[in-house]
Every structure is written in structure tokens, then in C-alpha cells.
């Protein structure tokens, strides 16, 4: 499976990669998300492709091809689903930490920065366009907006965290 092949390079054994793929593929959240007619699964596929090239970029002396494919896959994932920008931010932070720990702030770090530049630009342009188009409140989800008359800031944040936890946790 695609997930198993992506998990294999970061595990100590091939069976752990397959176990990771099975856990991902059979999790209730993945099944529920896959049943919805939305762009989530396409975004996940793009992120898995980007992750493959990201691992090649940080583990070995990779070529320009790996950087270009990573950048293109992350850009496609961001256009498909904005939330995948969190993957990009995590990859940027991890790359910076690895570069500092390896004391490799030279050519490789600059190539990583160039690989991150295009997806960041795609995100900025798409998000700006989206926010210009959707700056008004949507009528079908008023309970998800902060209302000063109804909510305290801490209560609103805790409720949002609880809802996110219940969405992705088997312990609702």
C-alpha cells in the first residue's frame, strides 16, 4: 500500500511500515473521511507523495528532481485542502532543526528553502483569494463562530478543542 511504502523509510522494519499502513487504512476516521465526497483523500494522497520526496530530501543527498516533486505535490495538496499547510509547516520546522543539528546550513538548507517557497506562495495566493470571497459568516454553521454574547473566549477554545478531539479520537 502507498501508506506502508511511505512509513517504511522511517521505521526500523518493513513490518512496522505495513502495520502503520493497516492502522491508517482501517482506522474509523479514515473510513469516515473516505466515505465523504470531498477532497480529503486526494489531499492525503498528495501529502503521501510529498512525504516520500521529503524523506529523500532530508535523508540523502537528493537531487533537484526530489525538491521539485516535493514542491509540486505539496502545492497540489494545499490547493486541494488548505489544512495541508500544517504538513508544510511541520516539514519546514523539522528541516530547520535537522539542518541546525547537522550543522548543514549551507547549500542543502537553501535548496530546502527553495522547495518550500512555491507551496508557501501557492498557499498565500489561494488563501487570500478564498478569504476575499468568503469573508462573511455562513448561515448553516453559526454554532462554530465566536459570539461575544454567547461565548467566553476560554469556553469557545475549549469547546473547539473538544470537538476536534472527538472528531479524530476513538474515545469520544
In this predicted model, what pLDDT tens digit does every residue of 57-97 receive, in sequence order?
887 667 888 889 999 999 999 999 888 999 999 999 988 88
Q: Give the C-alpha separation, 84 to 91, whole Å.
A: 11
Q: Kind and range of the H or E element at 43?
A: helix 40-59
CA distance 10 to 51: 11
**Residue-wise pLDDT tens digits, 9-66:** 666 667 777 777 777 777 777 777 777 767 888 898 899 899 989 988 887 667 888 8
Phi, psi of 39 (to 5 degrees): -90, 5
User: How many other CB atoms are there within 10 angstroms of residue 2's CB atom?
Assistant: 14
pTM score, two decimals?
A: 0.64
DSSP for residue 150: T
Tens of pLDDT along 126-135? Answer: 888 777 776 6
Amino acid at each position: 500500500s502507498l501508506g506502508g511504502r511511505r512509513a517504511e523509510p522511517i521505521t526500523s522494519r518493513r513490518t512496522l511500515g505495513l502495520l502503520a499502513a493497516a492502522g491508517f487504512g482501517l482506522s474509523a476516521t479514515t473510513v469516515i473521511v473516505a466515505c465523504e465526497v470531498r477532497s480529503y483523500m486526494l489531499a492525503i494522497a498528495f501529502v503521501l507523495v510529498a512525504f516520500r520526496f521529503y524523506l529523500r530530501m532530508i535523508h540523502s543527498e537528493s537531487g533537484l528532481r526530489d525538491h521539485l516533486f516535493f514542491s509540486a505535490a505539496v502545492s497540489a495538496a494545499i490547493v486541494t485542502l488548505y489544512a495541508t499547510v500544517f504538513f508544510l509547516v511541520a516539514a519546514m520546522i523539522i528541516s530547520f532543526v535537522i539542518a541546525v543539528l547537522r550543522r548543514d546550513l549551507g547549500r542543502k538548507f537553501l535548496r530546502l528553502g527553495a522547495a518550500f517557497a512555491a507551496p508557501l506562495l501557492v498557499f498565500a495566493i489561494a488563501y487570500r483569494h478564498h478569504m476575499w470571497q468568503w469573508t462573511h459568516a455562513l448561515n448553516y454553521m453559526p454554532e462554530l463562530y465566536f459570539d461575544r454574547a454567547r461565548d467566553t473566549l476560554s469556553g469557545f477554545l475549549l469547546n473547539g478543542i473538544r470537538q476536534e478531539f472527538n472528531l479524530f479520537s476513538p474515545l469520544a
